[in-house]
Structure 1
Amino acid sequence: MKKLIISILIIIVISSLLFVGCKPKEETLPKVRVSEVIHSIFYAPQYVALHLGFFKEEGLDVELAVAWGADRGAAALLSNSADIALFGPEAALYIAREQSDTKLIAFAQLTKRDGSFFIAREPMPNFKWEDVKGKVIIGGRPGGVPQMVQEYVLYHNGVIPHIDVEIIQNIDLAATAVAFSNGIGDFIQVFEPGASMLEKQGVGYVVASFGEAGGEIPYTVYHATEKYIKENPEIIQKFTNAIYRAQIWVDNHSAREIAEAIRPSFQETDFELLVSAVERYKNGDTWSKDPLLRPEALDRLQEIAIFNGQLTEKIPYEKVVRTDFANKAIKNIR
């Protein structure tokens, strides 16, 4: 009897060891390196997808990094230091214009208006665009969508850029708000939370919205190289699915609920300021309702680029856009 008990105990121990040894490893999600052009509340649906777990539920481990410029975001893709990058389609258009061997393809649209605001040093409740004549504006990089929209808006409101108004364009994007705070310029174009922070500090006051003045364009869109998309179609689809789920969620929730969801990405921002900034974007109909970049939207952006002298002719839509991932997400997600 004693031998039987010992034998049973040995079998139990051996079985336990075998079970532990055969325990399956925890599944590792594929890492996706995403470059965002700037870090802004303007991209709220992206942070919703991240913090509410939509990326993980789709089977992706998303890692964010800030490029501080569309040119740098495009460079991150071309150098393989990012898999997906969020920036304006202008970078893909410029690369297509040069007939580069490496193509950047836009596959999911996030925002449909300019997300920047025009800040003055003093409150100007009756602001008119002609008020900037003879003044100095801290602008953006030549050829970037923010700067192109700014010059387009100025011109179509009777102000000739660089003639009627001086535009400073040699300050790094990450440092423009600091430069304005230190007394440089009479006006500045800035995104949230920068706009609300300048107001809170008493340094500047929002007098106009470029989103409202510039109309609808595909302002910020997710891109990847043609090679990456070809080799990783499942990742691109899952990523697009997560973004669309976030777009639906944002459309159906209040500014306060959105602010609460994205709070982990803006921990240094006062919560009430975060809410008001989200409300500005939500009320301005800034975010795309779905990830589909439509031909007419890209066409309008190219008209603005031609006006600014960045393009001489339009690039065919099919050369820089793929719609199959967005269309599949829209069809399958409710």
Structure 2
Amino acid sequence: MKKITYLALLLVLFMSATLLSGCKENDVESMPKVRVSEVIHSVFYAPQYVALHKGYFEDEGLDVELAIAWGADRGAAALLSNSADIALFGPEAAVYIAREQTDTKLVGFAQLTQKDGSFFLAREPMPEFEWTDVKGKTIIGGRPGGVPQMVQEYVLYHNDVVPHHDVEIIQNIDLGATAQAFENDVGDFVQLFEPGASIVENTGSGHVVASFGEAGGDIPYTVYHATDSYIEENPDIIQKFTNAIYRAQIWVDNHSAEEIAEVIQPSFAETDYDILVSSVERYKKQDTWSKDPILRKESLDKLQEICIFSEELDKKVPYEEIVKTKFAEEAVKSINID
């Protein structure tokens, strides 16, 4: 069975500490600074940017600073190296670390998305696309052990395509460079998040033919995590952060793609407004965002089943070891949804 060793994790830790070394130290301010690492920068995380730009974090008395990790492994390493206080990534990283019984645990406390946020693009329009059309072709995929790649392989397998046998999957291209590689004629298909998928479509270099969110079903795709020690020492910050995220989830659920795009535009200054709207609309249509921040056991069980299918895990890690729901439950209980 494949396994991420603690030695490998330490190597990633070094990479992440180097990557995030430019982050500022906490300033002496009236509001506590909360360093948040997001796994990638994507419209997929629209509620987070809504919380930022509508002032929900400030309303809770928090000064949130965002940095991009470019991978769940790097986001996890940022927490372990104290380069971030809170990190948004798939729970699989917390599962892998808990499996190795390290002294520090990563704990998920607020779920943001409930479906895969990536789309499958081909070089030409394929209105009658079937997953078996990829046989004999090449896909630009993701990092082994990451949720995007595991969901891709899970979907392929359950649609009569054996990954790495019926189709070649490229997995050595950095997550931030996959769109550019595809535009440079690498591969026949590529898996991209928004707004990357819409941007590639807009250039005519590729065409969305399927959604992994629709094909993969409901899973806790991205969740906010912190170390067990940070949560124990800073419960007020965790509660306030969760409150802001829940308010944003409510707002996103009750507003149009155009309204959401307008609010999050400052986080995507180089992206055309119409592309932002189409990106948000795609996510809203497939019910991508969680309605509340509670990470439920049955949802994590499904993700762990996918990890086991992908041979990244041999048995499930107990839910209670890596999930703490009290902050999300308190937010749902105390915040008026009207």
Instruction: Determine the C-alpha separation between the residues in 2 that align with 1:121 and 1:102.
Output: 45
SS state of the match for residue 86, structure 1? strand
Instruction: Determine the C-alpha separation between the residues in 2 that align with 1:264 and 1:28.
Output: 24
Match of 2:323 among 315, 321, 324: 321
SS state of the match for residue 81, structure 1? coil
- Residue in 1 that maps onto 2:309: 307
Instruction: Determine the C-alpha separation between the residues in 1 that align with 2:150 and 2:29.
Output: 45
Instruction: Determine the C-alpha separation between the residues in 2 that align with 1:63 and 1:191.
Output: 22
How far residue 196 of structure 1 moved from its aligned partner, in angstroms, is 0.2
Q: How does 1:166-185 map to 2 (within 5 A)?
A: 166-185=168-187
Instruction: Determine the C-alpha separation between the residues in 1 that align with 2:218 and 2:205.
Output: 29
Q: How does 1:281-292 map to 2 (within 5 A)?
A: 281-292=283-294
1:109-135 per-position Cα deviation (integer Å, ceiling 9, x unaligned) = 000000000000000000000000000
Instruction: Determine the C-alpha separation between the residues in 1 that align with 2:178 and 2:252.
Output: 29
SS state of the match for residue 107, structure 1? strand
- Residue in 2 that maps onto 1:108: 110
- Residue in 1 that maps onto 2:100: 98
SS state of the match for residue 34, structure 1? strand
Instruction: Determine the C-alpha separation between the residues in 2 that align with 1:205 and 1:276.
Output: 14
Q: Which amino acid aligns with 1:281?
A: Y
Q: Based on CA coordinates, which of the two structures has the bigger radius of gyration? A: 1
Instruction: Determine the C-alpha separation between the residues in 2 that align with 1:195 and 1:182.
Output: 15
SS state of the match for residue 29, structure 1? coil
Identity %: 77
- Residue in 2 that maps onto 1:23: none
Q: How many residues align?
A: 309
SS state of the match for residue 249, structure 1? helix
Structure 1: give runs of 5+ residues left out of the alignment: 1-25
- Residue in 2 that maps onto 1:31: 33
Instruction: Determine the C-alpha separation between the residues in 2 that align with 1:194 and 1:27.
Output: 36
TM-score normalized by structure 2?
Answer: 0.91
1:59-95 per-position Cα deviation (integer Å, ceiling 9, x unaligned) = 0000000000000000000000000000000000000
TM-score normalized by structure 1?
Answer: 0.92
How far residue 27 of structure 1 moved from its aligned partner, in angstroms, is 6.3
1:128-152 per-position Cα deviation (integer Å, ceiling 9, x unaligned) = 0000000000000000000000000
Q: How does 1:59-98 map to 2 (within 5 A)?
A: 59-98=61-100
Instruction: Determine the C-alpha separation between the residues in 2 that align with 1:143 and 1:199.
Output: 28
1:271-319 per-position Cα deviation (integer Å, ceiling 9, x unaligned) = 0111011000011100000000000000000000000001000110000
How far residue 239 of structure 1 moved from its aligned partner, in angstroms, is 0.1
Match of 1:231 among 233, 239, 254: 233
How far residue 28 of structure 1 moved from its aligned partner, in angstroms, is 1.2
Q: How does 1:134-173 map to 2 (within 5 A)?
A: 134-173=136-175
SS state of the match for residue 178, structure 2? helix
Q: Which amino acid aligns with 1:81?
A: S
SS state of the match for residue 55, structure 1? helix
CA RMSD of aligned residues (A): 0.8
- Residue in 1 that maps onto 2:335: 333
Q: Which amino acid aligns with 1:146?
A: P
SS state of the match for residue 31, structure 2? coil
- Residue in 1 that maps onto 2:135: 133
SS state of the match for residue 282, structure 1? helix
Structure 2: give runs of 5+ residues left out of the alignment: 1-27
Q: Which amino acid aligns with 1:148?
A: M
Inter-CA distance 27–174: structure 2 relative to 1 (3 Å threshold): closer
